Structure 1
C-alpha cells in the first residue's frame, strides 16, 4: 500500500516485520522481513506497486532481530543492495548472519532514500543498536520496534533495556511527527505525535526493573 508519494508499505507476514519501499527509480528498503518472504512474496508485492525490485540499491535495517534481517541475503543476492545498520550491531550480524555490512550507521547520520533525506536516530532499548529514521520536512518517522501505533518494543529479550527504551522514546516525543511507520502493525497517518506521547506515558509508568 502506498503511504505517500515515494513511500509504500508491505505488511509483515506472520510475525515478520513490515517492509517499506522508498523511491521510484532507485529504490531503498527498510527492513527485510522473515527468511523466505522476499523471494516468495515481496518481489511480487514490489512489482505490483509498479516498481522494479532489481533497482533496490539500499537496505536499511532498523535492528538485528530475525524478523527484520531474515530476508537480507535474499535481497542482496537478488539486487546487490548495500546493507546499512547501526555500527553497534554490524559486527554481530556479519558474524552470526553471514552477510557484509557496507554502511555502518551512527546517531546523527543523514542518509538519502528516494528523494528524501533521513536523520538516523539511535534508539536503544528494544535492542542495543535500534534506530529510527526521521525526515523533518515531511515529518515522517520510521520507528522500527521502538514505538508502534499503540505500544512499545519489548525489553524482556537479550539486549533489551527498559531504562534505555524510556530515554529513547522520550527523545522521540521531542520530534514533530505526522506519519509514524513502525516495524509491525499499522502505520499512523496524521498527528502521530499523540501516539508517541501515549507510548511514552505507558513506558514511563513501568518500573525500571520491568
Structure 2
C-alpha cells in the first residue's frame, strides 16, 4: 500500500517495512530502493541512497512520522556509493549511537570512498589497453563519485549467518559476493522475504565487477564464478519474494536467474567470436566490439564497466582453456586457443 498522503515514492510492503525510492542519475540501474524497518524497539534503514538523495530520504522518513534521529541502525548491502552515500549525513543527525553494519572486510573501503589505491586502478586500466588520454578522463570519476557520498566508518562487521534485528524482523545475513566482494542479502525465513541489494535485479544482469586488490598485477578472484555461486546460494533459499535495490519486486526468482544465465552464455559466445581471427587483442579492444553502441570517447564509467565485464568473462574462458593471455609491453593481450 502507498502512504495515505499520496507519496508514490514510499510504500509499505509488509507490516512495518517501507520501501523508499530515491533518485539516481542515469537510466541504469535506475532509482535506488532503500527499506525502512520500523519496529517497537528498533528502527533500521537498509541502504541509504547517495548523498544527493539525502533530502528526498529525509522527507520520506518524515512522511512516516519519524526523524532521521530515530534510526538506530543502518545496514549496507555493499560498498557502492548509491548504497552508502547518505550514511554519514544520517549519522550526524542520529548521533554517536547509530550502528552502521556491513560485510566490508576492509572497512576503509567506505571510510575513504575507494576500495583500492588510485595507482592500482590506473595500473589495471593500462593493462587492459585503455588509452592514456581515456585513463586521464577516467580519473575524474573519483571526483564525481566523491560528490555522491560522504565517507564514514562501519561499526559492525556482518558475517554469513548473522541474525540482524531489523524493526520487528530478525533477518539472516547471506554473503553473496560477485557484484562486489562484500555484497550481502538479508533473508527473513518465516516470510520468505529476501532483500537482495544489487545481487538480484529484475531488469538487468548485475555487473560482476572486477575485484581489484592492491599488490596484485592482475585480479585473481573470479567475480563471475563467485556471482553465479551466490545465485545458487539464493536458489537454495527458495525465497518467496525478493525486494531489490533497483527495479520492481521479484516474485519469480528462477525466471530472473535463467535470464542471467542466458545472457552470460551469449556474451561468452560473442567474446569467442570476436577472437576467432586468432589475433591477439587487448581487453579494451574486445570491449569496444562487444559493446559497439558505447561511445568509447565519451563515457568513462561505461568503459570501465565494459572492460570489467570482458575481463571477468575472460578469466573463466581461460580457466576452461578457450583463450590464452600474455602481458606484452605492459598490456594484457588475449587470443583464442
TM-score for the superposition, normalised by structure 1: 0.88
Q: Which residue of 2 aligns with 1:145?
A: 198
Shift, 1:98, TM fit: 3.7
Shifted more, 171-180 versus 10-19: the winner is: 10-19
Q: Which runs of 5+ in 1 are unaligned?
A: none
Q: Which residue of 1 aligns with 2:52?
A: 36
Q: Which residue of 2 aligns with 1:53?
A: 68
Contact preservation (8 Å) 1:125, 1:155? yes
Shift, 1:107, TM fit: 1.1
Shift, 1:196, TM fit: 4.6
Whichever structure has more strand as a proportion of its residues is 1
Shift, 1:108, TM fit: 1.2
Distance in 2, matches of 1:50 and 1:198, equals 41
Distance in 2, matches of 1:123 and 1:176, equals 15
Shift, 1:156, TM fit: 4.5
The 3 A distance-change label for structure 1 pair 203 and 108 is: farther
Distance in 2, matches of 1:35 and 1:18, equals 14
Contact preservation (8 Å) 2:161, 2:172? yes
The 3 A distance-change label for structure 1 pair 155 and 99 is: same
Distance in 2, matches of 1:203 and 1:132, equals 22
Q: Which runs of 5+ in 2 are unaligned?
A: 1-10, 26-30, 114-149, 213-221, 269-311, 315-337
Q: Count how many residue pairs are aligned between Structure 1 and Structure 2.
A: 207
Contact preservation (8 Å) 1:133, 1:143? yes
Q: Which residue of 1 aligns with 2:126?
A: none
Contact preservation (8 Å) 2:24, 2:82? no
Whichever structure has more helix as a proportion of its residues is 2
